[in-house]
Structure 1
Amino acid sequence: MRYQDIKWEDESDLEGESQKTGQKQVEELSFAELLQQESVPDVEIRRGSQVSGVISAISATSDNVLVELDAVHTGVMDKNQIYNEKGEQQYHIGDRITAYVVAYTQDEIQLSLRLSASKQSMEDLHNALHMQLPVRGKVTGENKGGFEITLMGKRCFCPVSQIDTRFVTNKTEFMGREFNFLIEKIEEGGRNIVVSRSKLLRKEAELKIAELEERKNQDQDIILDGIVTELRDYGAFIDLGGFDGFLHVSEMSYARVNRASDFLQKGDQVRVKLLKIETTNDGKRRISVSMKAIQEDPWATIGNRYETGKSYSGTVTRLETFGAFVSLEPGVEGLVHISEMSWEKRIHHPNEILKVGDKVDVRVVDIQNESQKLSLSLKNIEADPWASITDKFPVGAKVKGTVESLKGFGAFVQLVPGVTGLVPTEILKKAHGESYKKKASPPQELEVVIREFNIAERKILLSLPEIKDDSDDIQAYHEYMQSQQDKDKVKKETSKAPRGSFGDILAASLEGKKKS
């Protein structure tokens, strides 16, 4: 029934005076208040929803009370609901009340105030049961299987599995608190009343999810606030107000997050963006959210902060056999290849000079914006010792160095950090005889003579001052190294050649001998 459909008569009794007084109160509302009421958006009207409104009229000739819910909607409520058990009028025109929608048609919105009161009749309980209306109740006790609930003046039972949508581990967190419940059954004349909160929560969640899905289908960006309720290594579950969203570890930050517990804690308040809503094979709704999606992508403006050829500070985050990953800022990580770690020595594994958590200075070698990759260098922070080696050590110069290692073909001698030369074994033997190993074992110091440079391959051939003519030995060394290279080449080609039977191999060998 709409407000304009009710025909009011002149009243001279107390009820009429009450109405006139109330109308005067309504008229005395300030202009600012009226503007504020006009600006309030239309409330969501559906059966079972809780609404708020202002009593605008109390009829003297009927049992109707009009409640203005907003500028468009007017509800109708039975007059007896504004009186208490003693017959005293509790609510008057101009009072704001909260009630439940018990019926909603095109012509009429019926309201019930009593479903939100504390003590009511069995008739209201049955109405709430049949119409599945939420009823306010208080958790007053606990027993073996659940909780005692005081609801509409009646003692009810709520199983522990029905108090929440999640598994309850601590009953005390619910004690003394008020919640909305749905009545599941009424038996034995009201002595056995069972209620459920989880069923109501699921219904409310379904409505919220449906609303979100509709907004998502309209390509709206939906930002939600939630609380972290559960953590897994691969992500976190977020309570978004009665339903859960899943936040994958890859969607927490642009920075690398290995485990969710490294980034979030249970109970943390977070703001997330809705990514998608899916329906699983078993009919459940799966909601994916992201924290990263509402953060600024550091790669979008990386050119404003980093330049090729310049040096920056970073932190080692990971070590791999091929290099080390260094974070310059959250979300910006680069690779220092193992070949870019040191001028001074050959690095076999990054853990020889680095460990996770180290603060290092690196130089940017290359920025690949599209693939979001950074190439970094540790050694280029310092000058390349080979850049001016020929000026520092000209051919023929005598230099003292430290033996790093002794191999079958000679001794490696470090001239300066990062620059190592080789003294061939034949020269060592000519100078020291068979005792050359004692003279040229690490960490012995040797005086050597610069003989040849190969800057491209970063090699220096050394001799000893005792040897006046080492030309034959140098030539023999070159021939030996060439033969070793030829052998390596043959081995590679042989390994690639197709294999035949033993007879084929033997025939090929005999043919080769005949030709020779």
Structure 2
Amino acid sequence: MSDLTNASEPIEEASAEATPAPEAAPAPEATPAPVAEAPAATTEPAADAAPAADAAPGSPTPAAAEPSMTEEEQAEDQRKKAEERARKEEERKRRDEAYEQLQHLKDTNATFDVVLIERVKGGLRGEYNGMRVFLPASHFGIRKNVPEEELGTAIGQTVQVRVHELQSDDTGYKSAVVTRRDILLDEFWSTIAAGAVYDGTVTSVTTFGAFVNIGGVEGLVHVSRLSNSRIDNPATVVKKGDRLKVTVAEVDSEKRKLSLSHREHEESPWKGVNAAYPVGKRVKGTVRRITDFGAYVQVAPRIEGLLRISELSWTQRVKHPSDVIAIGQEIDVEILSANEDKQQLGLGYKQTQSNPWENVLSILPVGMETQGIVQQSSTQGAVVRVAETFDGFMPRSKIVSIGRGQKVELNPGDTITVIVADVVPASQSLILAMKGAEQSNEGREDRRERDGGSFPRQARQPDSAGVTLGDLLNDSEKSNLYKG
């Protein structure tokens, strides 16, 4: 505080000395000089005192006076500001014009060129007639996930786009979002054709096939076109992310659907099958499918052979393959035929088992009487199982008659007594006759002879002849045949 007090003393002295100056000089012209100087004398000690004031903590530092601009500088500044306002106004007009043009392009769904100038968050920024536009990365190509490298190399290029979205608010802010994805899709569907080959990526796998992405567009590879061999589950062949070469099978540009095929690019599993599976070779297989006429057995990956119903049993007439085998069952089979060109494999199941027909004569000699169970019955006769193994055929003519033109009714499951009429092991033929049928037939023939019928006894064929034409005809048909 003492420093500040001492610093103010010269100011008071200078003021005291300057006060009487007007009184001492009566002449008026001497007055301006002291007045003009007095302030100068009083200000010098004040300036000297400023450092002492700065030394005091918390004391403010006086701001320096801003230099004033000359008239020329002020004029130049005003000119630059006017030019800037004019430039911004011109840019605004150009943006408004460009926005109106973009609105027209959007209304007409027209395409136009845009220069891509920089990479920004979420996509690329371009320019159209002085107005900046935004091209999202998801609209840059057909694929939604575009690699960063591809986006980077696009800077500086001119691309064709369409207006995707326009926005304008009350403040005058305007923005435009463009897309080229629809343009590329239109080009894709107008140029793609059946037979074209692509390298694609599996995007998903279903029970009916696999979807494959080829350049951003997904197509379906149906399970029937996924492999040269039959496939029950596509997931056993391909998985999501697999690279797959495919051929365009069908194109529906209107519905924008694409059917693809892979089997043309798959090495056939049937190559060399003739050498790998010679006739007579026995292999293990798994039953995959069962039909009315047989079963398909897989003997190797993607190789299935047909096991016909007639090759299931040596002695039994199988009604349905499921009576003998089941889906998923592993069985031994024998190769009956192989055709690499037609991709066919004939299999046998009964060939892997002993053949009872080789000893049938010792088991069922001709003339033997035995019990049998009816398996099937028809207008031609009945199938009867004897010795729990052999299915023999009993013609209608060898069934007991119960009246003119009528036979005993036989139903599946009936147990009857039969006589072995004929056995031919080579052709696996067993002919049976119902017990009592011979007597009923002889009695009927005797009556016919007494009545003047022309069906002589000597025309009957011996039982050992097997099934004859007479076995397949009824009594009236036989009578008409011999009358002729």
Q: What is the TM-score of this pair, normalised by structure 2?
A: 0.49
Which is greater in Rg?
Answer: 2
Q: Which has the higher helix share?
A: 2
Structure number with greater CO (CA < 8 Å, separation at least 6) is: 2
Q: What is the TM-score of this pair, normalised by structure 1?
A: 0.46
